[in-house]
Amino acid sequence: MSGRTALAGKEVEDEEHLDVAEPESADEPGRRPRWPRVLGALLAVVLLATGGLLFAEGRELRDTPATGNLALTDAEATTRVTGDVSNALGRIFSYGPDATALAKDAAREVLAGKALQQYAALFGQVEKQAADQKLTLTTHVVRAGVTRLTGTGAHILVFLDQVYERRGRPATTASAQLSVTAELRGERWRIVEISSI
Amino acid sequence: MARAGKTRNPLVIAATALAVVAAGAAGWGGWQRYDAAHDDAASYAQARDDALAAGEQAVQNMNTLDHRTLEKGLDSWEESTTGDLHRQLVDGRDAFAKQIVAAKTVSTAKVLSGAVTELDERAGRAGVMVALRVTVTAPKGDPAVKESRMLGTLTRTSEGWKLSALGQAPVGSTAG
């Protein structure tokens, strides 16, 4: 209440002051002067603009190319995708001369899209080679790192070792570096593309 | 119109609403701006990208050496490293320089891909894996090209991220 009274008193003062300074600017005698309204409107506009500007600045700080990539910033998803992909690679690229079916089944489970087609195209040769040469291949991931991660897609760099064992010959180890693209399908990450780098 | 005195002027109501909205917008915008500047996830993401860029560059530097510009090359090695690795390079510099001068080799490297595998922003430590192609040219014979895969540890210094350990990813180990 006292605030209102004080405000009213101030307005009266302002009116008087205005009348003295610029008498012709008041529309009619007895009506309120226009300038407090103009000032108020201006202030409101300035405040709105400031708010907008600060918000835009905040967005710019937050939405950088760096923050668009969730690799490591989302620790749980990062661990999950590297785990799923490492497991998948180990399963589909490990087989024995009489145990290629296991890898084939695994491929249907962990691959999708282009990767599945490539694998299917390759698998005829693999089966033949494994049987003819009595070849056992064991693949394990040495290190995997996520280069790019979003809610549903990931790119992973994988260093892996492949041990080839042919009956009657010493085992040989080959190293490979793969770039893997994975997509989140339901609960699991599936590999949709594999390329050697 | 007996109650005219009690009825608020719609203009006053509108002006008050505008003032409240404007003040709210300024306050909210300010908060968003403040919050963004103190966003841990954003600074962590930036540190990750900085570490990767520095790591890839450092690994490339460490695989590049030309016997004709040996001093410059070895300086770049020392500038890319810190800690134990840096000390080893400084200590072994003279002996290594003699070897390179005798062998007259030129090594160049191209980074194929890299990723940060771990990052502790507070401790200023990061782990990187880098796949690269190294070409070594000796005075006689064709250049030898080999794919190389390296694991490095980065430590943050006042001049940015630098390698404090670097090695080939082991082949044939049973780690899995």
| Per-residue model confidence (pLDDT) at position B8 | 75
pLDDT at residue A93 greater than cutoff 90:
yes
Residue intervals of chain A classified under CATH 3.10.450.230 are: 69-196
* Cβ contact A72–B116 (<8 Å): yes
For A98, the token pair is 């009489």
Of A142, A156, A197, the CB nearest to B175: A142
| Per-residue model confidence (pLDDT) at position A29 | 57
Between A72 and A124, residue with greater pLDDT: A72
| Per-residue model confidence (pLDDT) at position B91 | 95
Residue A16 carries which side chain, given as an amino acid letter?
A: E
User: In which band, very low, low, confident or very high, does the pLDDT at A3 lie, cut at 50, 70 and 90?
Assistant: very low
The verdict on B110 touching A (C-beta cutoff 8 Å) is no
User: Could you tell me what percent of chain A has a pLDDT over 90?
Assistant: 52
Quick one: average pLDDT of A156-165? 94
| Per-residue model confidence (pLDDT) at position A1 | 42
Residues of B in contact with A157 (CB under 8 A): 113-115, 129, 131
pLDDT at residue B1 greater than cutoff 50:
no
* Cβ contact A140–B129 (<8 Å): no
| Per-residue model confidence (pLDDT) at position B173 | 55
Angstroms from A159 CA to nearest CA on chain B: 8
Of B44, B131, B173, the CB nearest to A177: B131
What predicted TM-score, i.e. pTM, was given to this entire model?
0.79
pLDDT at residue B109 greater than cutoff 70:
yes
* Cβ contact B129–A53 (<8 Å): no
* Cβ contact B46–A65 (<8 Å): no
| Per-residue model confidence (pLDDT) at position A28 | 54
Architecture of domain A69-196: Roll (3.10)
Tens-place pLDDT, residues B157-169: 999 999 999 999 8
Quick one: average pLDDT of A49-69? 88
Between B95 and A127, residue with greater pLDDT: B95
For A29, the token pair is 């005698």
| Per-residue model confidence (pLDDT) at position A61 | 83
pLDDT at residue A19 greater than cutoff 50:
no
User: What is the CATH number that goes with domain B42-168?
Assistant: 3.10.450.230
How does strand B144-157 pair with strand A153-166? Answer: unpaired
Quick one: average pLDDT of A130-155? 93
